[in-house]
Amino acid sequence: MSREETIKENTELHKDAEIPAIEIRHLTKIYKLYDRNRDRIKEALHLSRHINVREHYALHDVSMNVYTGETVGIIGTNGSGKSTILKIITGVLNPTYGDVLINGRISALLELGAGFNMEYTGLENIYLNGTMIGFSEQEIDEKLQDILDFADIGEFINQKVKTYSSGMFVRLAFAVAINIDPEILIVDEALSVGDVFFQNKCYRKFEEFKKQGKTILFVSHDLSSISKYCDRVILLEKGNKIGEGEPREIIDMYKKVLVGQLDRQMDTHKSERLAGSSEGSRWKDRMQLNPNKDEYGSGLAEFEDYCAYDKTGEITNTIIKGEEFTVRLKIRFFDTIQDPIFAVSFKNMQGTEITGTNTMFEKLTTGTPKAGDVMTATFTQRMSLQGGEYLVSLGCVGYRDGNFTVYHRLYDVFNLTVISDKNTTGFYDMDSIVVVQKEENETKE
């Protein structure tokens, strides 16, 4: 049975046989926005009837269920309501309207500082958090060593948490959250603060929780983790729930939200989609671009347009590992240039150049464009890089009068997010086929 079929079957079983671990009914959270701080005080004291107040819906009529044993992810752009909904579920905030029903003991890891007293030591905060969840001192004593071993912050456990680094803080907070035997674990973006080894330890704990049939509600911008660990994903945008379903389907919706394309009616043919639907439309207008790109050149040629698109022809900054994708360039020339070289390269976020190619490496002759000519170049390949963030650079160079000349370069012009549910060691995946088998014992004569 495929992963998608298993998820569907499990979800249907949960719906038919169990009360949801978390049930959210028509949840709405409204914040009042005032032009001046004193207007807030006047309204509270009923001192004026003429105060300019605007209402901001952080959440608007959101309903959803999380069933026992599921790992459900919530994704969305900044300000979409992800953290707000978690705070309401955990009781940090009260809703304006709607209901939240919880069936099970919740442990939550929200943003740094939530649930901790900065004037207490790490040890004192362990007992504070355990008591708030409902454990006796004796029960916390029994779990203390597991918490200390997982956090692994040494003697700092006896220091006030206000002296902790963000990494130490999240280590302790997560150690407390997952070692008090919760039935429902709620995790916000806080995990992104820990180092790579600690994150790995946390995700192994996620796997252990899943095997134990515990419920996890997970908010993250890390789409690779969402794809790998979640059974279902919910997409929020501007306080509204706009999608719910299997991870890849909802991640594809999120990709469209990021570039404002969710409501665009795309044509059925790739060529029509890529050409644009109106005069003057540009591919790059549908990309997330780097405002701090590095740009230079002789001015004899210029990148007029560029984009990346996935195997369906959708312009996007997000590519699924293992799938085919294309980088497309459009270059305008202002003089006659013989055999211009078009190049694309990829860096990681630390600035290390990982891979790249150009038309010279590919032994492709590009001809002799003249002033006013426009050429397009497409680089199509399979995405073998590990899941993560990468920066794309473009180049148009060549030899003019025997001298190497840069006509136009755009360094780090846009990012690509690679989504992966399986990463290997290093920068790229060799796509290995691994076979393990037991050798039969040889019969001795």
Element containing residue 97 per DSSP (H, E): strand 97-102
Q: Among 253, 219, 243, which residue's Cα sits nearest to residue 72? A: 219
pLDDT for the residue numbered 191: 61
| pLDDT at residue 32, as a whole number | 81
pLDDT tens track for 382-432: 999 998 899 999 999 999 988 999 999 999 999 999 988 888 888 999 989
The token pair that represents 431 in the structure block = 């796509």
Give the pLDDT confidence score for residue 152 in this predicted structure. Answer: 86
Give, as one character, the DSSP assignment of residue 277.
S
For tokens 């939200």, the residue is 257
What percent of the chain has pLDDT above 90? 45
pLDDT in tens, 294-319: 999 999 999 999 999 999 899 999 99
Alpha carbons 57 and 73: distance in angstroms, whole number: 22
Residue identified by tokens 């148009």 is 396
φ, ψ at 239 (rounded to 5°): 85, 0
Question: Under 8 Å CB-to-CB from 432, ≥6 apart: which residues?
Answer: 424
In contact, 154 and 165? CB cutoff 8 Å? no
Give the residue, 346 or 90, on which the prediction is more confident.
346
- Per-residue model confidence (pLDDT) at position 13: 45
Higher pLDDT, 330 or 440: 330
Contact 85, 59 (CB under 8 A): yes
**Which position has the token pair 């210029």?**
302
The pLDDT value given to residue 206: 78
Task: Tell me the Cα Rg of the chain.
Answer: 27
- Quote the CA–CA distance of 290 and 374 in Å, as a whole number: 24
Name the CATH superfamily for 3-104+183-258.
P-loop containing nucleotide triphosphate hydrolases (3.40.50.300)
Q: Are 376 and 303 in contact (CB under 8 A)?
A: no
| Reported pTM | 0.66
Q: Please give the pLDDT value at position 112.
A: 55
Q: What is the DSSP annotation of 4-30?
A: HHHHHHHHHHHHHH---SEEEEEEEEE
Name the fold adopted by 281-419: Coagulation Factor XIII; Chain A, domain 1 (2.70.50)
* Each residue's pLDDT tens digit, 322-346: 999 999 999 999 999 999 999 999 9
Phi, psi of 44 (to 5 degrees): -60, -35
Q: What is the mean pLDDT of residues 263-280?
A: 46
Is residue 42 pLDDT above 70, yes or no? no
Confidence category of residue 44, pLDDT binned at 50, 70, 90: low
Cβ(407)–Cβ(396) below 8 Å: yes
pLDDT for residue 269: 40
Place of tokens 């370069």: 409
Domain residue limits, the chain = 3-104+183-258, 281-419
Amino acid 410: pLDDT:
96
Judge whether residue 101 has pLDDT over 90.
yes
**Residue written as tokens 């044993």?**
69
Give the pLDDT of residue 266.
39
Residue 326 in tokens: 């294309």
3-state secondary structure of 380: strand
Report the alpha-carbon distance of residue 231 to residue 243 in Å, rounded.
14
Q: How many CB atoms lie within 10 A of CB 388?
A: 17
**pLDDT of 39 over the 70 cut:** no
Confidence at residue 34, expressed as pLDDT on a 0 to 100 scale: 73
275 vs 319, more confident? 319
The three-state DSSP-derived secondary structure of 229-264 is: HCCEEEEEECCEEEEEECHHHHHHHHHHHHCCCCCC
Q: 85: which DSSP letter?
A: H
Q: What is the pLDDT of residue 235?
A: 95
Higher pLDDT, residue 98 or 2: 98
Higher-scoring residue by pLDDT: 339, 40: 339
Q: What are phi and psi of 341, to 5 degrees?
A: -110, 125
Predicted confidence (pLDDT) at residue 2 exceeds the cutoff of 60: no
With a cut of 70, say whether residue 178 has pLDDT above it.
Answer: yes
Say if residue 111's pLDDT is above 90.
no
